[in-house]
Amino acid sequence: MVSYKVVLVRPQNDGNVGAVARAMGNFGFEDLVMVDPCPLTDEAFKRAKHANYILKDAVVTSDFEDAISDCFLVVGTSGIVTQGGWHYIRIPSTPRELAERTMGHEDRIALVFGREDLGLTQEQLMRCDLLVNIPAHDGYPVLNLSHAVTVLLYEIFAAQGAPSKPNPATEHEKELLFRNFSELLEAIDYPSFRRDKTNVMFRRMMGRAIPTKYEFYTIMGVLGGAAERIRRLERKKGKEEY
């Protein structure tokens, strides 16, 4: 069964952290990791109410990569939505879409939330497999941290009865796929200044789709085979010219 880890990156208000723990307890989530958090005072434990155990058992780390290292899918949350097909870096799913797509998968998923004032950094967003945005009124679209966590966890909790889906690829298999795609870009001499963003675009596309293990291997075979064929043709051409 899929398991979710709530990752708070540099939360600034310990009352918010306590409210996050309470929301996690409300909907049956227990795995909390905090990256460089603010000190937790009595206010955090008061806000957590009967979910104090989540705060006591929370893992604290100073390294973002360490916080997400054991997760097959890294979901970043963002209050900013960039319109237009060219702005693929910030194309988000809704909480309900995420919940429906991930139910039945048998691996760990990180739900990553940034600091209250600035959110996640661009580097952290680039590391995420997909983004989630909670639709809100245009006049005030950015939710409080604990409110955002509550909405996302509610949608996941509400979708628990959805039919299971085929197993997804593992984190290792996904990275092989992304490497094959990167090698294909290199093989076709894709402009170097576009490669990083194109690799991120492909990662995000796969993250939103969450393909099955069979689909991953099929795509991986096509990309790997294409890159190898191009390299063989280039080597043959080089020998003939020589």
Is the pTM of the predicted complex or chain greater than 0.75? no
Mean predicted lDDT score pLDDT of the chain: 87
Position 74 scores a pLDDT of 94
- 55: Cβ–Cβ under 8 A, 6 or more apart, which residues? 17, 18, 21, 32, 40, 44, 45, 48
Domain range annotation of the chain: 3-158, 171-241
| Residue position matching structure tokens 């085929």 | 166
Question: What's phi and psi for 2, nearest 5 deg?
Answer: -65, 145
Tens digit of each residue's pLDDT (9 = 90 or more) over 128-150: 998 999 998 888 888 999 999 99
For 13-36, give one letter per residue: b (16+ CB within 10 A) or e.
bbbbbbbbbbbbbebebbbbbbbe
Indicate whether 163 pLDDT > 60: no
Class of the domain covering 3-158:
alpha beta
